[in-house]
Amino acid sequence: MSDSKKVEINSLVKQLDEQVSNFIARDVESDRLATIQTARDLIQKLQTPQESVTNTIYSPTHFLCIRIGIDLDVFNILASKNDPVTLEEVASAKGADPILVERVMRILAAIRYINDDGPRLYSANEMTIKMTDRLEVAKVKFIWLGGQLLSKSQNFPESLWVGISQDQERLDICNTFMEADRGSRPSWLNWFPVKERVIDGFDPTVSDTLLVDPENPPQHRFRNEEGLFQVDHIEEFILADTGCAMLPAMWDWEMVFCNSMERTQGQWQRLLKSAGFDVIRFWNPPGDGQGIIEAEFEECPRTGGVSYKANM
């Protein structure tokens, strides 16, 4: 190992130690994610480039074995037992080939989704329990379903939604996936200044209803001496131009299969401007989840040139 690499590794170890201490002391989401990123950087430095390439290109086997594990009921079987379970017991639950099951269990143990307690003996851990949750199961099944439909279709992405809507089981998976994805990150209500930006300034003389549509971002209306304005708060990913976090970057790739995309600040500004909106402010979340884009739409012509900003 070169001296320069030793210096880099020592620096990352020191940085990681400080970040872990900060996270434990403050319990802040941004600290947690920064710690994870530094841990990833450290792993990258400890691996050889060849190892990094190999681990990446073979990583789809992780998802494959998790999906097979769901069908084999591996997670429910292990989670229901206090003692280690034999390979034969797991395989017999679905009448599966023990050789195939052992190969699946080997991967699941390697990625720490189950415990490997001895030759052909397995038990549950935190991830095993998590994979008995219907929301987590739906995440896996939905992404798997999208891949299946993509591989069979000549007319994607239209066929994705047609294929889902025409099958009740697929539709249930899709709906549960959306529920799971929405609940996997801190709610914007926990970090966005709702009172100052949504409630304060609402004009009840215009309407006595402050509309919050669960299928769409919240909207509220303001009136000043220059006209009536609708202010929208759009909850979406706001991609960083550099150093983009992994989660929004991966979501952007998933959107490719839906003939759509996640957007940067500049792309959001151009899109909203084309629809008649002026962006008031971009609000970034404390972690790597979706942010809030605050924009206004002028419903009545203004008589002056002053831009209304809600409680800036």
Q: CB count, 10 Å around CB of 124? A: 24
pLDDT at position 51 over 80: yes
Q: Are 210 and 263 within one domain?
A: yes
pLDDT at position 305 over 50: no
Measured over the CA atoms of residue 271, residue 276, residue 282 and residue 285, the dihedral's sign is negative
pLDDT at position 293 over 90: yes
pLDDT at position 95 over 90: yes
44-48, 62-66, 223-227, range with the lowest pLDDT: 223-227
Is residue 213 situated within a structural domain?
yes
pLDDT at position 52 over 70: yes
Which of residues 244 and 306 earns the better pLDDT score?
Answer: 244
In DSSP terms, 296 is beta-bridged to 231, 278
69-73, 221-225, 231-235, 244-248, range with the lowest pLDDT: 221-225
In DSSP terms, 283 is beta-bridged to 292
156-170, 220-234, 262-276, range with the lowest pLDDT: 220-234
Backbone angles phi, psi at 222, to 5 degrees: -125, 150
Domain span at 140: 134-182
Q: Are 223 and 279 within one domain?
A: yes
Rounded CA-CA distance 178/151 in Å is 22
Q: How many domains does the chain have?
A: 4
What is the per-residue pLDDT for 189? 83
Q: Are 109 and 141 within one domain?
A: no
Query: CA distances (Å), 169 to each of 85, 89, 139, 192, 208, in order?
Result: 31, 28, 14, 36, 41
pLDDT at position 86 over 70: yes
Q: Are 204 and 289 within one domain?
A: yes
Range among 150-159, 198-207, 299-308 rated most confident: 198-207
What is the per-residue pLDDT for 140? 95
pLDDT at position 160 over 60: yes
What is the per-residue pLDDT for 10? 97
- Give me the mean pLDDT over the 244-264 stretch: 87
What is the per-residue pLDDT for 220? 65
Helix (H) / strand (E) element for 116: namely strand 115-118
Is residue 307 situated within a structural domain?
no
3-state class of 286 per DSSP?
coil
What is the per-residue pLDDT for 46? 96
Kindly report the average pLDDT of the chain as a whole number: 85
Q: Are 198 and 253 within one domain?
A: yes
Calculate the CA 171 to chain-centre distance.
20
Is residue 265 situated within a structural domain?
yes
